[in-house]
Amino acid sequence: MPSSSPSPAPKPLLPGLRGPADLKALAPAQLPQLAQEIRAELIAVTARNGGHIGPNLGVVELTVALHRVFDSPADQFVFDVAHQGYVHKLLTGRGGEFFRKLRQTGGASGFLYRSESPHDAFGAGHAGTALSAALGMATARDLRGSSEHVVAVCGDAAFTCGITLEALNNVVGSTKRLIVILNDNEWSIAKNVGAISSYLNRISTSRTYNRLHHNVEEFFKSFPAGVEMNRVYMKWKRETKDFFVESSLFEKFGLRYLGPVDGHDLDGLIKNLEFAKHCDVPVLIHVLTKKGKGLEAAIAHPEKFHGAAPFDPVTGENKKSAPGTPPNYQDVFGQALTRFARADAKVLGITGAMPSGTGLSHLAAAVPTQFFDVGIAEEHAVLFAAGLATKGFRPVCAIYSTFLQRAYDQVIHDVALQNLPVTFCMDRAGLSPSDGPTHHGLFDLSYLRCVPNAVVMQPKDEDELVDMLHTSLQLKGPGFIRYPRGAGTGVQIKDRPAALPIGHAEVLREGSNIMIWALGSMVQDALKLAERLAAEERLSVGVVNARFVKPLDRALLLSHAACIPLLVTMEDHVLAGGFGSAVLEALHDGDCPTAVERIGWPDKFVEHGTNQEILRAAYGLAPDDIHRRVLARWKNLQESVSANV
Ligand SMILES: Cc1ncc(C[n+]2csc(CCOP(=O)(O)OP(=O)(O)O)c2C)c(N)n1
């Protein structure tokens, strides 16, 4: 008997998908294969480039179902945060090489942008924006009299955001046609927190309901399917849900609640989406998904694989950093805060859903009673801290620079105006290359410099970060410490932190031709630049570690301006309103018309890129570019001086 040869592997489907129409042309029986191919591509690309692998593995079937049922870009999907938009990219003509360069220069961005594709109906990177934006779009559609569908895709943690709840409050007053997908995987980056999360959990795990629901679904399957049948069934579901669980929160807001639906069952998803499409009231479909589905390591460690650094696709192990790589700023901060909190029960750490990213996980593990994760709720985090501070506590809000933008009113109106001693530790201040414009921390100096009572500082290294934290914890009012993403400089951290004199800069190197005033992460660059100008051009170049942007060390600055012909400022921040602007203002106010060359980011949204070096080079901020600029300015000055003699 001839041995039966193994059946040939099916032809791959993903490479042939140029857009949603190609997806629609596939037979339903081909969709599981497609889902498998998408997962393999997601894993391969993020293993190499890093990225939001866990959230994307969880929404493969959901995104396929959305594109099967709706017609993007005529119908519009608004993804909350948009970190789970990779599958959407693969299905909308952004696969292949473009996707393989995910988060790298020239490749697909890690979030969604209207400028990247007509299928990206609304851009995002910050959480909690989808429902409001989708509601605006649906209302605009109603006003214009057009008929497209608008679908908001929100994670369960988006419902810890105030904005989402504000939008929910307005759905019924705004439109009759909106579809909201609640993608519930029980995780934010860490485990989701708070009462809404517990409520969702109760709905999803109500066994009585789920068993009954399953039996009834089986029963209905024996009838010919159809919208009408579905309508009756869904009505029944709503009623039983209210009866067995507790009246749905979403129904109280006027949305029809459907679910919970298994987020990995394509048929079920498609059926529910089809039903929602024909509803004449706003609908919320509660979809249960597994974060990391298809990658064991991601299921076992959802927090680590929410947004992963490059990893081994088989073991899930992260690529080892080179031996001797200094610790990250976030860990130095987290460990220092833990030491301070152990020594003083009044020191508290607060995060908006980012315990590991901010380093507060160290505090959570060591002194859990002094740690608070308030969910993705930066406004609340700051107000909560303000309340604690009125009672003599020393709260430390650990919030990325970019996310503190959301709590600006609380910073001014609640903390600074009342001069409350809240410390803000702003990680990811400066460029965040692979994440791109939604995540660069390039605006905080501009938005904080104008706030009365604020003390704003940036350390040159991780030891000074600990000094600044210690110093801020002694302040009578608010202190803001900004520091960059990633590894420190590798300096030794002192056993006992120093209290820094407020508003005093540190002279690291004297000079008489040029004085570079550098801020934080730019200090090392400034020292190298000074060295090079001295060695190659025989110039006397000094370097100041500014430490404080507010209050600025005016006395030292004016003394330099009085005798040094050229000042240079360097900052990892936009020039508009930043550190260099503070220097210019101080010089102007002190009647010192000294020449100043300002180095910083231009008045543009800086795109994502493979790394700092590439992006800096693209904007003329590579060390060689800065060297050229400073030297040219120096030569120019010399020429005008000799012309005037
Ligand atoms: C304003 C703001 N704060 C914090 C973050 C960081 N962040 C990105 S995704 C995320 C969790 C999102 O959880 P969820 O909405 O449930 O989606 P999932 O990743 O679980 O699919 C957080 C906290 C952010 N993007 N925006």
Q: Residue 347: which CATH number? A: 3.40.50.970
217 pLDDT above the threshold of 60 = no
The average pLDDT across 98-116 equals: 98
The average pLDDT across 332-351 equals: 98
**374 and 291 inside one domain:** no
- What is the per-residue pLDDT across 163-181, written as a single tens digit (0 to 9) for each? 999 999 999 999 999 999 9
191 pLDDT above the threshold of 70 = yes
Which among 290, 291, 460, 616 is annotated as catalytic? 291
Cα–Cα–Cα angle for 533, 606, 447, rounded to 5 degrees? 90
Q: Whose CA is nearest to atom 12 of ligand 1?
A: 188
- What is the per-residue pLDDT across 533-585, written as a single tens digit (0 to 9) for each? 999 999 999 999 999 999 999 999 999 999 999 999 999 999 999 999 999 99
Compute the half-sphere exposure of residue 110: CA atoms within 13 Å on the CB side of its CA: 32
State whether the beta carbon of 349 lies less than 6 angstroms from ligand 1: no
- What is the per-residue pLDDT across 48-59, written as a single tens digit (0 to 9) for each? 999 999 999 999
CA 562 to chain centre: 43
**568 and 462 inside one domain:** no
State whether the beta carbon of 305 lies less than 6 angstroms from ligand 1: no
Q: Tell me if 324 is assigned to some domain.
A: no
Separation CA 620–CA 617 (nearest Å): 5
**341 and 460 inside one domain:** yes
Residues in the chain: 645
- What is the per-residue pLDDT across 284-340, written as a single tens digit (0 to 9) for each? 999 999 999 999 999 999 999 999 999 999 888 987 778 889 999 999 999 999 999
State whether the beta carbon of 160 lies less than 6 angstroms from ligand 1: no
Share of the chain above pLDDT 70, in %: 93
pLDDT of residue 303: 94
How far does the centroid of ligand 1 lie from the alpha carbon of residue 189, in Å?
6
State whether the beta carbon of 287 lies less than 6 angstroms from ligand 1: no
**472 and 514 inside one domain:** no
Report the domain count for the chain. 3
Confidence of residue 215 (pLDDT cuts 50, 70, 90): very low
On average, the pLDDT of the chain sits at 93
Phi, psi dihedrals of residue 108, rounded to the nearest 5°: -65, 140
**356 and 465 inside one domain:** yes
**414 and 471 inside one domain:** yes
pLDDT of residue 537: 98
**378 is known as an active-site residue:** yes
Within 10 Å of residue 88's Cβ, how many Cβ atoms?
Answer: 26
Q: Contact, 429 vs 572, CB < 8 A?
A: yes
How far does the centroid of ligand 1 lie from the alpha carbon of residue 126, in Å?
7
pLDDT of residue 209: 47
Which among 37, 41, 61, 378 is annotated as catalytic? 378
Separation CA 361–CA 357 (nearest Å): 8
**278 and 357 inside one domain:** no
Helix axes 462-472, 329-343, angle to 10 degrees: 40
260 pLDDT above the threshold of 50 = yes
Domain boundary among 482, 498, 532: 482
- What is the per-residue pLDDT across 410-435, written as a single tens digit (0 to 9) for each? 999 999 999 999 999 999 999 999 99
pLDDT of residue 228: 59
Closest CA to 257 of 273, 237, 230, 271: 237
Confidence of residue 1 (pLDDT cuts 50, 70, 90): very low
Residue in the structure block whose two tokens are 């008489």: 512
How far does the centroid of ligand 1 lie from the alpha carbon of residue 79, in Å?
11
481 pLDDT above the threshold of 50 = yes
Residue ranges making up the domain that contains 342: 329-482
**406 is known as an active-site residue:** yes
**537 and 441 inside one domain:** no
- Could you tell me the CATH number of the domain that includes residue 578? 3.40.50.920
State whether the beta carbon of 197 lies less than 6 angstroms from ligand 1: no
Three-state secondary-structure class, residue 281: coil
**551 and 591 inside one domain:** yes
Decide which of 596 and 7 is more confident: 596
pLDDT of residue 9: 84
